[in-house]
Structure 1
């Protein structure tokens, strides 16, 4: 729930708090959340500028950079990273500008794969043969990218050790997502097929989701968001792209997506309901265009189901607190604390 100054003014008008308490509460909240990212023009410019730099040194990197040679690419990348670190250190520690300082540290971490690529190109050492130009890194699945991904994860963890900035987990999660695909060639060699890729992606994504769950709500800042996002991309992508002619397996796929939607409520994470809804709609599309292709009643039945779900949502909203309280009261206290939203409360009680 987000609070605005108008909410505090409403509390004053309703004689819940005084005008002095309103001002003190508002000033206290501003100080507490002053260093956190928010949706205003300065922060939009911070992140927009950072994304332009990341894009320039990653997705929009052209093959012309190969003219520098491996040694040149390595030196340029290291110089870039050092400049970002020095500027980020000044903003973060000296000027107390956490968001732009943290973004500069993130940019330094994002230079890691390019620097490792330059070093590998210079030495000619590749774990699974020459993978091609750096431009191919974001387009082709190849085992020789693995050192670049491991190095990025390690650089991100080192940066997090000294700078507690949640967006630093983005390049870590992104590299782990890439790693889930490139590991296939390491595990299965050059003879791997599409099915092996999907299974590696699914299990690796599940591991990322479990790890994100374990760190979720451990601190006031959100360090689990990017892990959930890229974990879902790997898990749901691998699951959804698996092919099967069995209607039972397709129905089971729908059930898994329904469980993801339910999980979003317990974990308070929208990413689960987004991917789950996409999966359910995909299954309904399969029913409409394959199973009940010639049925006149299927659209009417599906409309009725949708209206029923809306009705249930209305009933749930009216008795939401009572239903949630009944569910939580039926859960043993030990299991109740497994919910991420209860972790900080548990830590404060201890």
Structure 2
């Protein structure tokens, strides 16, 4: 099993008497001087995740119409066979210590659940959609109340697989299914097709709820289940927020303030993913201002370049002073909040 150490872990080891003062810095410097091992390790991770995403795409939203022509029974058998094979292979790799590829294969099995439910519903005559938008590919495109069984089954199977293979990435297909479900349930409740403005608001509120749930999960287990919840929540929240059309300058300024708040969350929670989304939002707002001020000006590309350099500089400054900034920010928070949120105790 591979462990990732940082300066905080070594500092705690010094406090606990495991390391002598000064040894933590020497050990950290030694680890930083191992570029080849660390690079190859991370390259293997990229290959694992990229391969899993390719499989999920091929058997999901890229599934061609030809697969719909093989018959519902054959489609169900193939989907269940794939799920079983991926689970068995994932479990085997997990037990042999290859937890990353094993967990990723478990996530692939979860992502096949909608296909199996789709085929089972059509085979049993329980398929609720019969109006031309009933192909499996449309599950990833349209908001439809009829997809609820597929989404609920995906969440249930995901939770079961998560108990079998406690791998954080399995949270991602569960979160995506819940995101789809939030859209479809809203349409079912209101009894009509959602317009784009409503979809953006549903996405925003769902993303915010998922971020809060991830915050409560953060720090409560040895594995980092919160990361993928944060990522999915930010995609839904920030995506819905950024796609909203605010015609007022006040609305655009509020958008910038919210993104600055996300950057503050990155410091408080030590989660760079918040910094990425927040920086993108602030850069977008600054780009809008520069376009308004320097429209049809030779200075426009120069100003955008300066904004880009400023964002990079901000990232470097955050990386160098992350621990000090986090500690300073947490000192401003009440003890009751720090005790209630495990993520803020690290």
Q: What is the TM-score of this pair, normalised by structure 2?
A: 0.77
Structure 2 CA distance for aligned equivalents of residues 315 and 277 of structure 1: 13
Give the ranges of 4+ consecutive aligned residues of structure 1 lying more than 6 Å apart after TM superposition: 294-323
Q: Relative to 1, partners in 2 of residues 1:233 and 1:183: Cα closer, same or farther, differing over 3 Å?
A: farther
Structure 2 CA distance for aligned equivalents of residues 53 and 314 of structure 1: 35
Shift of 1:303: 9.3
Q: Relative to 1, partners in 2 of residues 1:302 and 1:164: Cα closer, same or farther, differing over 3 Å?
A: closer
2:84 equivalent in structure 1: 82
Shift of 1:44: 4.3
1:39 equivalent in structure 2: 42
1:120 equivalent in structure 2: 121
Shift of 1:57: 0.9
Q: What is the TM-score of this pair, normalised by structure 1?
A: 0.76
Cα root mean square deviation, aligned: 3.9
Q: Relative to 1, partners in 2 of residues 1:128 and 1:340: Cα closer, same or farther, differing over 3 Å?
A: farther
The alignment status of 1:230 with 2:232, answered yes or no, reads yes
Shift of 1:221: 1.3
Structure 2 CA distance for aligned equivalents of residues 227 and 75 of structure 1: 31
Q: Is contact 2:290–2:304 with CA below 8 Å preserved after alignment? A: no
Shift of 1:180: 3.5
Structure 2 CA distance for aligned equivalents of residues 261 and 128 of structure 1: 43
Aligned ranges 1:6-17 → 2 under 5 Å: 16=22
CA offsets per residue over residues 38-76 of structure 1, 9 Å max, x none?
Answer: 5153x4444343233222211321000111222221121
Q: Is contact 2:115–2:136 with CA below 8 Å preserved after alignment? A: yes
SS class of match (1:242): coil
Please, which moves more after superposition, 265-274 or 67-76? Answer: 67-76
1:189 equivalent in structure 2: 191
1:139 equivalent in structure 2: 141
Q: Relative to 1, partners in 2 of residues 1:223 and 1:324: Cα closer, same or farther, differing over 3 Å?
A: closer
Q: Relative to 1, partners in 2 of residues 1:92 and 1:302: Cα closer, same or farther, differing over 3 Å?
A: closer
Structure 2 CA distance for aligned equivalents of residues 314 and 166 of structure 1: 28
Aligned residues: 320
Shift of 1:283: 1.6
2:68 equivalent in structure 1: 66
SS class of match (1:61): coil
Please, which moves more after superposition, 203-212 or 154-163? Answer: 154-163
Aligned ranges 1:292-311 → 2 under 5 Å: 293=295
Structure 2 CA distance for aligned equivalents of residues 56 and 317 of structure 1: 37
Q: Relative to 1, partners in 2 of residues 1:123 and 1:190: Cα closer, same or farther, differing over 3 Å?
A: farther
Please, which moves more after superposition, 288-297 or 125-134? Answer: 288-297
- Give unmatched runs, 5+ long, in structure 2: 11-19, 32-39
Shift of 1:259: 0.8
